[in-house]
Amino acid sequence: MKLYPCMESRNDNKCIPLFPISVPDQNILSKKYKINFCLISKNFSTKMRQIYCYLERPILFARNKNNNKRLHKLCDPLKKSNKVSLNKASRMNKTNTTTFLNTYQHVVVVRDPIERFVSGWSYVCAITKFWKQDKRNCLGCKNNLVCFINALYNKVFKSAKYSFILKEPKFMEDHFYPQSWRCGVNKYKNRTKLLLYGSSKETQVKFFKELTTLLQQRHVPKKQLTFITKNILGQRSGHTTIGKKERLMVEKKIYSNKTLVNILVKIFYNDYIAFDLKFPKQNIDLESVKIITA
């Protein structure tokens, strides 16, 4: 097995440490099927909310499936009232976290870190331009990708170094902080069902198969599985960036610049390790890492 830890001789060359803090969770519980969905933004989270809403209110969801406004009205209060931390979810079930995770299937969707970053930045800073509402939404960089990547490294590094604890998920942290800081992965990885999502057809086919198998194992009826496959998994989210020109431009800019790739690898290094993902092949600067073979 090969690991590629960043050199630690200089602060500006360090990878972000593994599990220095935990970003607050967003768990939604299906008590009927004993499933705990822990949501991470840009990781199929919109669709996971829809699946959860359908499992809770199948008749009303099916009746309003083509009316986004009514679906939002139906699902949003349900989502908000049940979106809790892992510890609170355990307390709600009058037990400790370990026992809770032995009863509920803890589901976390993960994604290649740079692909997730590309999707998040394209949507937040290039397409919807949330910085026009609040400049903090893109770290003061507006739609400047290079500025943002450097600012993100500094922000995440400071959070790790000083162990900043967030009381609740904030917009930027929710979209761009390491996935391995989320959903209790640091403590409960062996009790977590990790599902790898991605934009490639091959990854999506495998992801959909694993997700439907999981729902089947939790005794979701065949009729409802068919509905989920056709009407939720088979439809694209309004938040998707797949195929959009802004995303394609961001991908090209990142993967043609080894400096940007290396900074992103340093930010998300432990996501690759925690989820056993392949490091990007494009332009990795091996002078900035030391190779350890074990």
Query: DSSP of 200-249, one letter per residue?
Result: SHHHHHHHHHHHHHHHHHTT--HHHHHHIIIIIITS--TT--TT-HHHHH
Hey, is 173 helix, strand or coil?
A: helix
pLDDT in tens, 91-104: 888 888 889 999 99
| Closest to 275 (Cα-Cα) out of 169, 205, 183 | 183
The C-alpha atoms of residue 50 and residue 76 are separated, in whole angstroms, by 10
pLDDT in tens, 181-239: 999 888 899 999 999 999 999 999 999 999 999 999 999 999 999 999 999 998 776 55
